[in-house]
Chains A and B, each alone.
Chain A
Amino acid sequence: MLTYTLRRLLLSIPTLIFISLVIFLLLELAPGDPLADQPLTIPPEVRERMRAALGLGEPVYVRYWKWLVQFFWVEPRVMLDAWLGTAMAVGEQRIISWQFRAPVFDVIWQRLPQTLWVVGMAYIIGVLIALPIGIISAYRQYSWFDQIGTFVAMIGFSVPTFFTGVLLIVIFAVNLGWFPSIYDTTLRVTDWPSFVRQVQQMAMPVAVLALYNAAQISRYMRASMLDNLNQDYVRTARAKGMTEPVVVLLHVLRNSMIPVVTVIALGVPSIFGGAIITEQVFKVNGLGQALIGAIYANDLPMVQTLAFIFAILIVLFNLVADVLYGLLDPRIRYD
């Protein structure tokens, strides 16, 4: 398993380098000018110098190489410096956002906590709701619980989050006034009242996303449980005199979790990127909003870096899913 993991990690390096090249070139070729929103009165020579200052004067391959070096060599050391208090990367050129005129990674570090809190929390809650619902729905197939679960799940993934989000805002923020409609990033949790306010502002975006996540995962859980409940080994467990909780929650669940864990692991990268719309609706300035903002502003370094980070996460969690699969299913041998 360890050698398999290491081999996969090594193999993912060329994959990622190829992906980075594709991302870089695609964005390079896309129409758009970072100076488009500068006044038209700027004379052409000045405009040219501004372009040079942004690093646009150099050929594509030079810029790509520089970006790679900055991403893989400079930025990690900057991070280490910040954590360990060393000074390895002082004065080196970092990836600079055109829009903010500040290092891209500083912006990302600023935005990450909101995304993790809101979208990550929604994912965890979604999973925690989905698993029991899926288990009970399968065990009591066609019961009223299962019917309601099916109905809610259908709503959950067929109604888009921008609709449920706005609906919740209208009901709970505008009419009832229970929750704020805009997420306040500057809020610091220091005492009980500020904690309550934090919970209040997280409630709606978390609810919208959790519903969406729970809808999908509970369906997977249900289908997987149903597959396994009909297996012969379940009858064997009953014939041995095992109680229903042991049969269902040990024998069946342990088998059913194998594909579901994979789905959950594969969904983790979407925490970082997929919640773009919800972040827009609730004005949570997390990573999703950073990406949208950067696209509007033609902020190429920001878009490239964020897109590449998403790519890394996807490759990484694919590996995590495969490793988990191997750990959970003794029939899989990777060596």
Chain B
Amino acid sequence: MPDGATAVLAVNGLKTVFRTRGGEVHAVNTVSFRLRPGEVLGVVGESGSGKSVTMMSLLGLLPSPPAELRAGEVLFEGRDLTRLPPEALRRVRGAGIGFVFQDPMTSLNPVFTVGFQIMEPLRKHLGMTRAQAAARAAELLDLVGIPDPRARLRDYPHQFSGGMRQRVMIAIALACNPKVLIADEPTTALDVTIQAQILELVRDLRQKLGMAIIWITHDLGVIAGIADRVMVMYGGQVVEEAPVKRLFSAPRHPYTRALLGTIPHIRGPRAPRLRVIEGQPPILRAHPAACPFRARCAHALPRCAAENPPRFPLGGGHDVACFWDADTGAAREAAPREGGARHG
């Protein structure tokens, strides 16, 4: 594991709780991860596993109430974003870390031109004049592959298709050359060709600009094509993290294995029916005291109901939060790595 000094973004023990009328919802439970400069970290997990909430917590973008950051630190350029005064945090948002949200159809303001919305961060963070910002905005639209960018700056979001709006969102996120780009399912709303184009674009940009990217998706195919490392989330925690090749060739968490098993294969005999993971992801009303996956797990051990498994390091940047050892098919013997234990 790289240490905090070389990571551009280091998240330690992040915990986010929603206070709702029906009680608390523990959406993010002691999540820790690191992002190295220029790397692409893929984040996968079922709907509701806490991917979006984790990333929005980093920048304090969740409405509070109901959201509440209970614990953890987010180190970016040596500063803890969770303790930054509002003005300093605003300078990080947009300028240091760009964010592409999940829903392109509603994430742009309908009453302002696309040009205005791209130029806003340029003028605020980089102090550009209107003319400079307009020129740069046109460049950005060109960069994300929107034809006739100068003219399109004057158009409103509804005059763009869903795929183009997603590109506009990416252009906004990239506007100030951020060190980190967080892309929350940026391609799920798009058809396959556009998806491929955007993936190509991001690979390209990463080469050119050298930024680190967090890429959230449901699509393991996309992860295989773009990510360097993968983080699997379940029940608001990281259950497995590994370099992308390792994860696909030797997944160690039963959830990851099940997730990989749900991908239908083109070659080979056709499965009688599509495989699914039986059961529902949990809604956690309290900090998990046991493994949240145990009810759906084929390998659950008595210990899984008594204690929440910490992340066991397996070497080579691979770790897994599971008491069951896939290599031996029995309970794990090794002691957890230091600091990996999860306490609320």
Contact = CB atoms under 8 A, between A and B. Distances in A.
A239 B61 contact: yes
A72 B156 CA distance: 43
Contact of A241 (B107, B109, B124): B124
Contacts of B275: none
A242 B101 contact: no
A330 B158 contact: yes
Contacts of B324: none
Contact of A255 (B109, B121, B173): B109
29 contacts: A232-B101, A232-B103, A233-B106, A235-B56, A235-B101, A236-B108, A238-B93, A239-B59, A239-B93, A239-B99, A239-B173, A240-B124, A241-B91, A241-B93, A241-B121, A241-B124, A241-B125, A242-B94, A242-B124, A251-B109, A254-B109, A254-B111, A254-B112, A255-B111, A258-B111, A328-B111, A329-B111, A330-B110, A331-B110
Interface string A224-266: 0000001111011111111100000001001100100000000
Contact of A235 (B61, B112, B117, B121): B61
Contacts of B144: none
B90 A235 contact: no
A230 B63 CA distance: 9
Interface in B96-150: 99, 101, 103, 106-112, 117, 120-121, 124-125
A231 B106 contact: yes
Interface string B51-74: 000001001010100000000000
Interface residues of B, number: 30
Given A331-B156, A331-B158, A238 B61 contact: yes
A208 to B, nearest CB: 36
Interface in B168-200: 169, 172-173
B158 A232 contact: no
B92 interface: yes
B95 interface: yes
A17 to B, nearest CB: 37
Contacts of B107: 232-233, 235-236
Interface string A201-228: 0000000000000000000000000000
Contact of A236 (B90, B92, B124, B172): B172
Contacts of B156: 330-331
Nearest to B172: A240
Q: Which of A235, A242, A258 has the most C-beta atoms of chain B within 10 angstroms of its own C-beta? A: A235
A239 B57 CA distance: 11
B310 to A, nearest CB: 32
A119 to B, nearest CB: 32
B52 to A, nearest CB: 11
A327 B131 CA distance: 26
A54 to B, nearest CB: 56
B147 to A, nearest CB: 21
